[in-house]
Amino acid sequence: MITKRKLTGLLSCMIILTACGTGNPKQSQERTDMKMKKSSKVEELNTLTDEEKAEGWRLLFNGKDFTGWRGYNKDKVPSAWTIEDNAIKINGSGEGEAGSHDGGDIIYDEKFKNFELKFEWKVSKGGNSGVFYLAREFSDLPIWRSAPEYQILDNENHLDAQLGKDGNRQSASLYDLIPAKPQNSKPWGEWNTGSIIVYKGTVIHKQNGEVVLEYHLWTPEWEEMIENSKFKGWAEMINAGGEERMGYIGLQDHGDDVWFRNIKLKVLD
C-alpha cells in the first residue's frame, strides 16, 4: 500500500529527474552545442572568419602543406620542418642551431612592407625559436643579420631568458634589444598568440592579447640602439627592409621543437 508520504516522495523524485535529466530540452540543447563547439575546434584552425575576410586578412599557412614557404636561400622547405596537428613544426636536433639536420630557417616567399601579422605558437620544454620580419635574403649571410626578431622562448627553462638585459631575450621581446613588458607568456606546451604590426617604421609586438613593446625603425634612436647592442656595425640590421623598406616573414630553426599555426597577415598599405 502506497502511503501519502511515499507518494509525495515519488512525485518529488519525478520532478527532479525531469528538471535535471534528458527531459529538460534547454539543458539537452546546451550540452549538444558544447559538444559541437569542441568537435569543430580543429576545423576552425588555419581558416579565416567572415569578418577577417572582409577586413582583408589572408592565410600564410593552410594547415595542410607548405604552400608559399621555402627554406632561406633554398627552393624548398628542409625536411626538418613538417606539418603536425594542423601546425608547422620544426623538429629540432636537440643540439641548438649548430646541430641542424636538413633544417634551417624558412621564409614565406613574398615580401611585405606595412602589415599586421598574427600567429599562434608553442614550444617544447626549453624551446627556442623566433619570427623574423622585413628580412632580406643574402647568399653569404644568415637571415638574422638583416631582420628584427620576435623572440619565441620557454622563459622558465631556456638559458636565454636569463641573458641579455632586463629580460630582452624573453618571449615576444625584440630579441636582445627591447624586453616584452608585461611578460605574459604561457608555459611550454601551451599555445600563445603573437602579433607584429609594422607601419611606416612603427613596430608593435603583442603577446596573448597585450601590447608588450613599441619602437621605431630607421630613426637615430634605432641606430643608437643597434650600435649599443650585440648587433653593432650590422648595416643590414640598421637598414632592415633595405631601400624598399620591405622583406620576408621567417620562422627560425634554433634546434628545438616548436609549432606555429593560424598564421595570418593583413596588408596595411
49-to-2, 55, 127 alpha-carbon distances in Å = 61, 10, 31
pLDDT in tens, 214-250: 999 999 999 999 999 999 999 999 999 999 999 999 9
Would you say 193 and 171 are in contact if contact means Cβ atoms under 8 Å apart? Answer: no
pLDDT in tens, 149-173: 999 999 999 988 989 899 999 999 9
Domain 41-267: CATH architecture, name and number where available: Sandwich (2.60)
Could you give the CA distance from residue 211 to residue 133 in angstroms, rounded to a whole number? Answer: 18
pLDDT of 268 higher than 50: yes
Annotated domain spans of the chain = 4-38, 41-267
Would you say 150 and 120 are in contact if contact means Cβ atoms under 8 Å apart? Answer: no
- Displacement of CA 120 from its chain's centroid (Å): 3
The sign of the CA dihedral 158, 190, 89, 249 is: negative
Could you give the CA distance from residue 50 to residue 236 in angstroms, rounded to a whole number? Answer: 39
Could you give the CA distance from residue 228 to residue 85 in angstroms, rounded to a whole number? Answer: 42
pLDDT in tens, 33-59: 554 444 444 458 999 999 999 999 999
96-to-84, 100, 145, 150 alpha-carbon distances in Å = 21, 7, 18, 18
pLDDT of 17 higher than 90: no
Strands (E), the chain: 58-59, 69-71, 81-84, 87-90, 106-108, 115-123, 128-135, 149-153, 192-199, 202-207, 210-216, 248-251, 258-267
Residue 7 — pLDDT band, cuts 50, 70, 90? Answer: very low
- Displacement of CA 173 from its chain's centroid (Å): 13
Could you give the CA distance from residue 263 to residue 89 in angstroms, rounded to a whole number? Answer: 13
At 10 the three-state DSSP class reads helix
